[in-house]
Structure 1
């Protein structure tokens, strides 16, 4: 299971047009209208969070950042370890690749276009991207909910071998993804039968955005991010990260790309081509921005009320263990609403607990797109602070 590739599984979605045509969402409230900051987290709880975070600095993870925002229990923002193998202290404002949390912005973009009447969620994929297996049956709605049955291109062994060898993959385009999908036509399934995570479906949504808007997916997604008021969040056009940033490393227990036993430090994979994950995983942010965004995501900020409701019509991703479900570009893990991700060098979880109006965000600086090291740290913090919030099936 690859995640940015792939969403969290700690045991490890309609209406045509989705809203009134021409609807214009209420603007995001200005920063000055925000409620007063929460008090600090209880020192004893903070010390336990610290212990959990420091214990997570293993298997190539040199540093982590944790953000907690709770109007009752208090707020907490703390960095741990180092931002690189050279020993530079980790800070809370570092930029990192948010991996599959990008999908939440892609879904926001598509749903906004639906609210504006520029596309319908019932539109067939074939209208925008031709020659995809079952493309005349797959709808935009199916793609948003991971119910399109499209082959996940990251499962292609030849692609993955090339990506592991060189994460910069010069010359790669989203159309290379289409060729992989078409080459695996016999592994596609008819849409609407099951909820199965596929990065390909969110690459296809990026191409839908481009066809509908006449702009690049990078440009349009940037406008969505700006409208949400997230100043440290960006969709990069190059392999570079904004300053300050944490280096990203391949986790040393990776099954996908085993670490050379002779290596003195984990493999640095900070630089990677954002066109490879595209609208399935290219966005960069910080923990403070994502802590603010977690509530926006869970409450449907920027969408018509009916669209926000539709976005959280869940379908199961698992059938045992902790309840994991998918909506339209958003994950429900237990009672938490958000998303997680893993890409070369970075793993994170962005989550909001509506009943408590609380958000917990975690970032660690080692991953391989397969393992999601942030999940275990996030789960430990959530079980400490909100022990009843992870119900099982």
Structure 2
């Protein structure tokens, strides 16, 4: 079974052809500096993007948004379909849950602390969170790079059943994740041996942030978002989404929460941010993510050496399209960014450094296992940048 907020599905899609924290480091340049160029995408290419996006409106997806920024080809921002099953038109400025793209903000917060000397990449997890299997060997760098060997809590069958039944999960906290990790101690592996995607490692980083700063992970992440100048991006404290927002649905072909025959897709717009926590709680819009994609890929807000370390890649796949992981950032072929899937929403946020181009897509149906946005992203990228997805 594929896992909640896991990017591995991207490789499959590509193979198929488809408050303050006390930070004082130099702030990132304001978002306005990274606004898309004024030129528009060629009408012929735009029509082909439209065709790809409309084809993605299936299996419970009622709407999608595509954002492209390219200094040569031009910019493109368009919404498709509807924001809900009632027929409300989708608009480009809708808020949605960015799922695992949240991990990039968590990593940014951790790396800012490293730049300030308040945390070291070599610090052991046990200094901050006790009783985690191999915690005296796992470093902060291991956690950032998905190399900690920590059991992924979303693989726990009891958790999956509870979450599928009620994404609000009243009373849930990150400490429930710790209990799951400890209960699966025999499934942990020593750190540093392989790069294996685990949402647990980013929950643990959230607890590290709280321990080091004395503030909530939500407050720390909010400070990072504000420093990057992303006005429509937020770490919510409730299950509600800011207006305007797209309603989110479970994809009708989901194996985790199947839709009964003849029924409309299940509405899962409301879900607790405490469940994904620093592995997936952040909310944004496609225009904000288009600006952020370049910031993420160029190391905005980080010391140059830290930004370089962030993009020391290790492989997540061994065949097909090259998929690698850095410190809270994915490399998808030649693209730098991240993707995500959570109940109701799926997205891909990427930047192609050698062409200074960004491509962001979102769709409003997912179950946290499948990543429906991957197929749309791969189609757009293959159309516009056919040589940007090298294989192993």
The TM-score normalised by the length of structure 1 is 0.95
The Cα offsets for residues 274-322 of structure 1, whole Å up to 9 and x where unpaired, read as: 0000000000000000000000000000000000000000000000000
| 1:286 partnered with 2:319 | no
CA gap 1:10/1:33 in 2 versus in 1, 3 angstroms = closer
Q: Distance in 1 between matches of 2:93 and 2:9?
A: 24
Indicate conservation of the 8 Å contact 1:5/1:154, yes or no. no
Written as runs of structure 1 = structure 2, the 5 A alignment for 1:11-160 is: 11-12=12-13, 25-30=25-30, 33=33, 37-160=37-160
Q: Distance in 2 between matches of 1:280 and 1:187?
A: 20
CA gap 1:311/1:104 in 2 versus in 1, 3 angstroms = same
Secondary structure at the counterpart of residue 45 of structure 2 = helix
Q: Distance in 2 between matches of 1:33 and 1:382?
A: 24
The Cα offsets for residues 10-35 of structure 1, whole Å up to 9 and x where unpaired, read as: 325xxxxxxxxx99543222456557
Unaligned runs of 5+ in 1: 13-21
Written as runs of structure 1 = structure 2, the 5 A alignment for 1:268-279 is: 268-279=267-278
Tell which deviates more after alignment, 279-288 or 27-36: 27-36
Q: Distance in 2 between matches of 1:156 and 1:35?
A: 42
Counterpart position of 1:338? 337
The Cα offsets for residues 221-243 of structure 1, whole Å up to 9 and x where unpaired, read as: 00000000000000000000000
CA displacement at 1:164 relative to structure 2: 0.2
CA gap 1:8/1:294 in 2 versus in 1, 3 angstroms = farther
CA gap 1:235/1:42 in 2 versus in 1, 3 angstroms = same
Secondary structure at the counterpart of residue 269 of structure 1 = coil
Counterpart position of 1:307? 306
Coordinate RMSD, CA, aligned? 1.4
Counterpart position of 1:15? none
Tell which deviates more after alignment, 350-359 or 37-46: 37-46
CA displacement at 1:44 relative to structure 2: 0.3
Counterpart position of 1:4? 5
The Cα offsets for residues 340-387 of structure 1, whole Å up to 9 and x where unpaired, read as: 000000000000000000000000000000000000000000000000
Counterpart position of 1:256? 256
Q: Distance in 1 between matches of 2:230 and 2:323?
A: 27
The TM-score normalised by the length of structure 2 is 0.96
Q: Distance in 2 between matches of 1:225 and 1:350?
A: 16
Indicate conservation of the 8 Å contact 1:8/1:340, yes or no. no
CA displacement at 1:38 relative to structure 2: 3.5
Unaligned runs of 5+ in 2: 14-21
Secondary structure at the counterpart of residue 360 of structure 1 = strand
Secondary structure at the counterpart of residue 46 of structure 1 = helix
Indicate conservation of the 8 Å contact 1:99/1:280, yes or no. yes
Counterpart position of 1:214? 214
